[in-house]
Chain A
Amino acid sequence: MAYPFQLGFQDASSPIMEELLHFHDHTLMIVFLISSLVLYIISLMLTTKLTHTSTMDAQEVETIWTILPAIILIMIALPSLRILYMMDEINNPSLTVKTMGHQWYWSYEYTDYEDLSFDSYMIPTSDLNPGDLRLLEVDNRVVLPMELPIRMLISSEDVLHSWAVPSLGLKTDAIPGRLNQATLISTRPGLFYGQCSEICGWNHSFMPIVLEMVPLKHFESWSLSMI
Chain B
Amino acid sequence: MLSRAAWSFVLRTGGLGARGTHSPGDAARSEGRMPPYTNCYAQRSYPMPDEPFCTELTAEQRALKEKEKGSWTQLSPAEKVALYRLQYRESFAEMNRRSNEWKTVMGSVFFFFGFTALLIWWQRVYVFPEKPITLTDEWKARQLQRVLDMKGNPVQGLAARWDYEKKQWKK
Q: Which residue of A lies closest to B44 (CB)?
A: A51
Q: A55-B21, A132-B143 are in contact. Are A3 and B150 (CB under 8 A)?
A: no
Q: How far is the CA of A106 from the CA of B7 in the complex (A)?
A: 64
Residues on B with C-beta less than 8 A from A69 are none
Answer whether residue A190 sits at the interface, using C-beta atoms and an 8 A cutoff.
yes
Residues on B with C-beta less than 8 A from A128 are 133-134
Digit string of B75-99 for contact with A (CB within 8 Å is 1, else 0)? 0000000000000000000000000
Digit string of A118-133 for contact with B (CB within 8 Å is 1, else 0)? 0000000100101111
Ranked nearest first, the 9 interchain pairs of A and B with the lowest CB-CB distance are: A131-B142, A51-B45, A3-B158, A134-B134, A11-B153, A11-B155, A131-B146, A11-B157, A130-B142
Answer whether residue A49 sits at the interface, using C-beta atoms and an 8 A cutoff.
yes
Residues of A at the B interface (CB closer than 8 Å) are: 1, 3, 6, 10-12, 49, 51, 53-56, 125, 128, 130-134, 167, 188, 190-191
Q: A131-B139, A131-B146, A134-B134 are in contact. Are A190 and B46 (CB under 8 A)?
A: no
Contact between A134 and B132, CB atoms less than 8 A apart = yes
**B139 is contacted by which of A55, A130, A167 (Cβ under 8 Å)?**
A130
Contact between A125 and B46, CB atoms less than 8 A apart = no
Residues on A with C-beta less than 8 A from B151 are 188, 190
Count residues of chain B with CB under 8 A from any CB of chain A: 28
Answer whether residue B32 sits at the interface, using C-beta atoms and an 8 A cutoff.
no
**A53 is contacted by which of B22, B133, B143, B157 (Cβ under 8 Å)?**
B22
Q: Which residue of A lies closest to B155 (CB)?
A: A11
Q: How far is the CA of A54 from the CA of B132 in the complex (A)?
A: 63
Q: How far is the CA of A3 from the CA of B133 in the complex (A)?
A: 18
Residues on B with C-beta less than 8 A from A3 are 147, 152-153, 157-158
Q: Can you give 8 A-B contacts (C-beta < 8 A)? A: A3-B157, A10-B153, A51-B45, A128-B134, A130-B142, A133-B134, A190-B152, A191-B152
Contact between A49 and B44, CB atoms less than 8 A apart = yes
Q: What is the minimal beta-carbon distance from A56 to any residue of chain B, in angstroms?
A: 8
Q: Which residue of B lies closest to A134 (CB)?
A: B134
**B143 is contacted by which of A6, A11, A133 (Cβ under 8 Å)?**
A133
Residues on B with C-beta less than 8 A from A134 are 132, 134
Contact between A11 and B154, CB atoms less than 8 A apart = yes
Residues on B with C-beta less than 8 A from A131 are 139, 142-143, 145-146
Q: How far is the CA of A20 from the CA of B133 in the complex (A)?
A: 36
Q: How far is the CA of A54 from the CA of B13 in the complex (A)?
A: 11
Answer whether residue B6 sits at the interface, using C-beta atoms and an 8 A cutoff.
no
Q: What is the minimal beta-carbon distance from A97 to any residue of chain B, in angstroms?
A: 22
Residues on A with C-beta less than 8 A from B11 are 55
Residues on A with C-beta less than 8 A from B171 are none
Q: What is the minimal beta-carbon distance from A50 to any residue of chain B, in angstroms?
A: 10
Residues on A with C-beta less than 8 A from B158 are 3
Q: How far is the CA of A134 from the CA of B21 in the complex (A)?
A: 67
Answer whether residue B137 sits at the interface, using C-beta atoms and an 8 A cutoff.
no
Contact between A55 and B150, CB atoms less than 8 A apart = no
Residues on B with C-beta less than 8 A from A133 are 134, 143
Residues on A with C-beta less than 8 A from B146 are 131-132
17 additional A-B pairs beyond A131-B145, A133-B143, beta carbons within 8 Å, are A1-B153, A3-B158, A10-B157, A11-B153, A11-B157, A51-B44, A51-B45, A54-B18, A55-B21, A56-B18, A125-B134, A128-B134, A130-B139, A130-B142, A134-B134, A188-B151, A188-B154
Q: What is the minimal beta-carbon distance from A90 to any residue of chain B, in angstroms?
A: 28
Digit string of B122-138 for contact with A (CB within 8 Å is 1, else 0)? 00000000001110001
Q: How far is the CA of A193 from the CA of B99 in the complex (A)?
A: 58
Residues on B with C-beta less than 8 A from A191 are 150, 152
